[in-house]
């Protein structure tokens, strides 16, 4: 049985082209961005709704409301590592194919999706943060009504052990951290560093494991509080095979220390 909405891979991005599909996807969760606008798609005949790879995978593999197709074009097949044989001109991609293709398009996709899935499934609206030099922006409500609460940078940690309660951010580039902190502060946002690692024994480049409990939790509209705690992220989809990969995400909210404002005692 086909899902309601259709999207197409196009030169490294995912596009929704049907007018009704565009409006419905954006209205129900603020997914995507109009190709000719800053947010909501316009009425321009050439307008398409562009999805982040993380948004596309979430809607297709987790929410299961989106069918994604790869058209037979040299640029698209090269970007996503997909080979479409004759005489097909369009190929529908399942969750495992999408995961492999998105990892090909962006080698950091597994870590980015772990962060996206964790916060989006807990009620946060997650948008691209490239405008502010970050990976994502986190909103508590409609991006058309309020500014983002956090600028988010995803930082990969190798061999993330389950037994270690906290990870030192000593490996971070503190010059870049200073620039991001200043930029976020000037834009009235807090900076969040998400340390992400694949659990020991998991295979990073394979799709996530099945977790029905995670799917149940996604219906909870309550917003989670971003704190400096370690959380387990069981990513899931009923169509995927179990035992693939499991991720841990540790969000750290960064605040700049001003000696004149905070005296030592």
Residues labelled as active-site residues: 139, 147, 189
Mutual angle of helices 95-105 and 109-120, in 10-degree steps: 120
The position carrying tokens 């037979």 is 72
Q: What is the pLDDT of residues 124-152, one digit of tens each?
A: 999 999 888 889 999 999 888 889 999 99
User: According to the model, what pLDDT value does residue 116 have?
Assistant: 95
**163-207 per-position pLDDT tens digit:** 454 445 555 667 777 777 777 777 778 889 888 887 665 666 677
Chain centroid to Cα 48, Å, comes to: 20
**Which of these, 167, 133, 140, lies nearest to 222 by C-alpha position?**
140
The angle formed by the CA atoms of residues 28, 154 and 225, to the nearest 5 degrees, is: 60
pLDDT at 214: 43
- ∠ at Cα 187 (183, 193), nearest 5°? 55
At residue 209, the pLDDT reads: 55
pLDDT score of 7 more than 80: yes
Predicted TM-score (pTM) of this structure: 0.77
Distance between CA 30 and CA 38 in Å, rounded?
12
Cα–Cα distance, 114 to 104 (Å, whole number): 16
Tokens 């946060």 belong to 124
- According to the model, what pLDDT value does residue 248 have? 82
For residue 19, the Cα-to-chain-centroid distance in whole angstroms is 24
Contact 114, 249 (CB under 8 A): yes
Query: Residue 257 pLDDT > 60, yes or no?
Result: yes
Closest CA to 250 of 61, 143, 118: 118
Instruction: For residue 139, list its beta bridge partners.
Output: 125
Cα separation, 69 vs 49, whole angstroms: 15
Residue 16 pLDDT:
94
For residue range 20-60, what is the model confidence (pLDDT) as tens digits?
999 999 999 999 999 888 788 888 888 999 999 999 999 99
């Amino acid at each position: 049985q086909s899902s309601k909405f259709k999207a197409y891979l196009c030169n490294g991005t995912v596009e929704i082209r049907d007018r009704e599909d565009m409006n419905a996807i954006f209205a129900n969760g603020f997914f995507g961005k109009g190709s000719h606008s800053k947010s909501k798609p316009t009425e321009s005949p050439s307008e398409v709704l562009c999805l982040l790879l993380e948004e596309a995978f979430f809607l297709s593999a987790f929410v299961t409301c989106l069918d994604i197709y790869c058209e037979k074009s040299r640029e698209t097949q090269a970007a996503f590592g997909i080979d479409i044989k004759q005489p097909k001109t369009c190929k529908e991609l399942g969750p495992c194919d999408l995961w492999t293709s998105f990892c090909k398009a962006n080698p950091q996709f597994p870590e980015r999706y772990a962060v996206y899935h964790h916060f989006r499934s807990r009620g946060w609206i997650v948008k691209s943060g490239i405008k502010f030099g970050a990976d994502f922006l986190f909103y508590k409500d409609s991006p058309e009504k309020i500014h983002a609460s956090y600028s988010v940078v995803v930082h990969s940690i190798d061999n993330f052990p389950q037994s270690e309660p906290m990870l030192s951010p000593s490996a971070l580039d503190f010059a870049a951290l200073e620039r991001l902190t200043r930029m976020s502060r000037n834009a009235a946002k807090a900076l969040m560093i998400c340390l992400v690692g694949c659990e020991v024994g998991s295979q990073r480049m394979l799709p996530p494991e099945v977790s029905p409990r995670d799917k149940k939790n996604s219906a909870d509209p309550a917003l989670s509080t971003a704190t400096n705690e370690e959380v387990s992220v069981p990513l899931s989809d009923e169509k995927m095979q179990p035992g693939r990969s499991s991720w841990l995400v540790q969000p750290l909210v960064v605040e700049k220390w001003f000696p004149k404002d905070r005296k030592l005692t």
